[in-house]
């Protein structure tokens, strides 16, 4: 089976690695990919938000399966365009991708499906925003309704800052503040059968101790030894299955990966957000632990045969990933800085270096080409060991002005 992976992040690098381990998969192409992915798979240029270009490329490489990474591509209808060519695709069509593309739509679906989530108001004007803030009280949570690459949410106790964020977005969702630890749980679905993966935890803020602005994600680990017993079953029954049923009932079935971002509050679990694709960086740690061959699994989901897969198999290992970001990320990342020390890092046992924003410059040197540059992954018999390994590798990497969090999976 020839597989085409769309995207260029560390998530796609992890997907390419896992697909190559599946004996059913004969060839992997990635578009557009990055300098690290190019060492593992053929890369082709593509504008991921141009649905027809994605479909043309899928036909051109004779893909039997297309796996779409970025939400921007799904929201633009790339999965619909691929399927219209008769090619199997893992990922929701544009109508179902609205679960991530519009936070207001996601709230509407959750209400209809009786999925537990924060009380929320959809606001367009400053008056509406002001009223919502006063009704809910601090801390204030203001979310851009549309896609914002993980950076559209402001959580603050300052009313002025909350109002200013609302004013800077055409439409916002203002919602109740949820406390308690956050968990990311992914499920693979063909629109009917829902198979949950293992939970992971993401570190969203840029700085140690959860300080500074939100990012796309600075690190992750899995499993969560502290998670309540039965968490996955509870999320499956109260969140994932009702949402998939509701999407089918609306005539816009959801197929692909449904990502539930959850808060485990003192009053029970609540959905913070849905994403409609593999999360980054959680995918790097979840796939490091998955034993079930990935190509067969995603193809079964893409073709309505997920019930034939049965249960998923996992290693007993833990995995931790640390994201190395460029100077200025997330506000204004600088690119073009040389990235060095990767051979030394890769020589640390039980680690791998996945690439996100990397490219080769004119002289063939590896340089940074995006805000998140690398995602270093370590595995081991427990989180502590995996963590020690990933940091041993990360410390060997040199990127001028680069930064990473030093407290990913600390104390777990
Ligand atoms: P989102 O893009 O919706 O996942 O939000 C990004 C991050 O903002 C989340 O991972 C949380 O850390 C934080 N956040 C979002 N919604 C809430 C909420 N209702 N209460 C507290 N924190 C939130
Ligand atoms: N890790 C957060 C995301 O993928 O949106």
Q: Among the listed ranges 210-219, 257-266, 289-298, which one has the minimum average pLDDT value?
A: 210-219
Cα(80) to ligand 1 centroid in Å equals 29
For the segment 385-389, the average pLDDT, to the nearest whole number, is: 98
For the segment 212-224, the average pLDDT, to the nearest whole number, is: 94
- Give me the phi and psi of 362, to 5 degrees please: -55, -30
* Rounded CA Rg of the chain: 20
Cα(54) to ligand 2 centroid in Å equals 23
Decide: 150 in ligand 1 pocket, CB within 6 A: yes
Q: Cβ distance 203 to 406 under 8 Å? A: no
Residue-wise DSSP of 225-283: TTSPTTHHHHHIIIIIHHHHHHHHHTT----EEEEEEEEEETTEEEEEEEESS--TTHH
Decide: 150 in ligand 2 pocket, CB within 6 A: yes
Decide: 216 in ligand 1 pocket, CB within 6 A: no
Q: How confident is the model at residue 304 (pLDDT cuts 50, 70, 90)?
A: very high
Decide: 141 in ligand 1 pocket, CB within 6 A: yes
The pLDDT of residue 150: 60
Ligand at shortest distance from the CA of 218: 2
Residue whose C-alpha is closest to residue 54's, from 120, 8, 23, 22? 8
Q: Which atom of ligand 1 is nearest to the CA of 118?
A: 19
Q: Which atom of ligand 1 is nearest to the CA of 270?
A: 19
The pLDDT of residue 151: 65
Q: Delineate the domains of the chain, giving CATH numbers in brackets.
A: 2-94 (3.40.50.20), 119-175 (3.30.1490.20), 182-308 (3.30.470.20), 318-399 (3.90.600.10)
Question: Taking the alpha carbons of 124, 129, 131, 132 in that order, is the dihedral positive or negative?
Answer: positive
Q: Is 186 helix (H, G, I), strand (E, B) or coil?
A: strand
Decide: 217 in ligand 2 pocket, CB within 6 A: yes
Mutate to test the pocket of ligand 1, among 177, 203, 273 (most ligand atoms within 8 A of CB): 273
Decide: 118 in ligand 1 pocket, CB within 6 A: yes
Cα(62) to ligand 2 centroid in Å equals 30
Decide: 220 in ligand 1 pocket, CB within 6 A: no
Distance CA 160, CA 116 (A): 29
Q: Is 26 helix (H, G, I), strand (E, B) or coil?
A: coil
Q: What pLDDT digit, counting tens, does each position of 168-213 carry?
A: 999 999 999 999 999 999 999 999 999 999 999 999 999 999 999 8
The pLDDT of residue 152: 84
**pTM score:** 0.96
Decide: 275 in ligand 1 pocket, CB within 6 A: no
């Amino acid at each position: 089976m020839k597989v085409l992976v769309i995207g260029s992040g560390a998530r796609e690098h992890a997907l390419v690695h896992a697909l190559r381990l599946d004996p059913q998969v004969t060839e992997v192409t990635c578009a557009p990919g990055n300098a690290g992915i190019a060492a593992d798979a053929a890369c082709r240029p593509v504008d991921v938000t141009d649905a027809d270009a994605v479909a043309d490329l899928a036909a051109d490489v004779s893909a039997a399966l297309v796996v779409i990474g970025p939400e921007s591509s799904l929201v633009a209808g790339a999965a619909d365009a691929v399927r219209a060519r008769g090619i199997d695709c893992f990922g929701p069509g544009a109508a179902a991708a609205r679960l991530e593309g519009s936070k207001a739509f996601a709230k509407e679906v959750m209400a209809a499906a009786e999925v537990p989530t924060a009380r929320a108001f959809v606001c367009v004007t400053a008056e509406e925003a002001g009223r919502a803030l006063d009704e809910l009280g601090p801390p204030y949570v203001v979310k851009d309704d549309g896609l914002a690459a993980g950076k559209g949410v402001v959580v603050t106790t300052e009313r002025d800052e909350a109002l200013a964020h609302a004013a800077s977005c055409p439409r916002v969702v203002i919602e109740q503040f949820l406390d308690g630890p956050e968990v990311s749980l992914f499920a693979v679905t063909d629109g009917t059968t829902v198979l949950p993966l293992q939970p992971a935890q993401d570190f969203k803020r840029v700085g140690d101790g959860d300080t500074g602005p939100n990012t796309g994600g600075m690190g992750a680990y899995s499993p969560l030894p502290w998670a309540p017993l039965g968490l996955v079953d509870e999320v499956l029954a109260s969140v994932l299955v009702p949402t998939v049923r509701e999407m089918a009932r609306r005539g816009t079935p959801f197929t692909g990966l449904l990502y539930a971002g959850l808060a485990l509050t003192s009053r029970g679990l609540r959905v913070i957000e849905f994403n409609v694709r593999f999360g980054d960086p959680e995918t790097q740690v979840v796939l490091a632990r998955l034993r079930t061959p990935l190509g067969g699994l995603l193809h079964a989901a893409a073709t309505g045969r997920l019930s034939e897969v049965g249960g998923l198999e996992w290693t007993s290992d833990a995995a931790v990933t640390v994201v190395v970001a460029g100077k200025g990320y997330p506000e204004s990342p600088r690119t073009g800085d040389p990235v060095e020390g990767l051979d030394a890092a890769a020589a640390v046992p039980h680690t791998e270096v996945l690439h996100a924003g990397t490219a080769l410059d004119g002289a063939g040197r590896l340089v940074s080409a995006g805000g998140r540059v690398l995602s270093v992954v370590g595995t081991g018999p427990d989180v502590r060991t995996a963590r020690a390994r990933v940091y041993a590798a990360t410390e060997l990497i040199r990127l001028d002005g680069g930064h990473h969090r030093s407290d990913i999976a600390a104390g777990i």
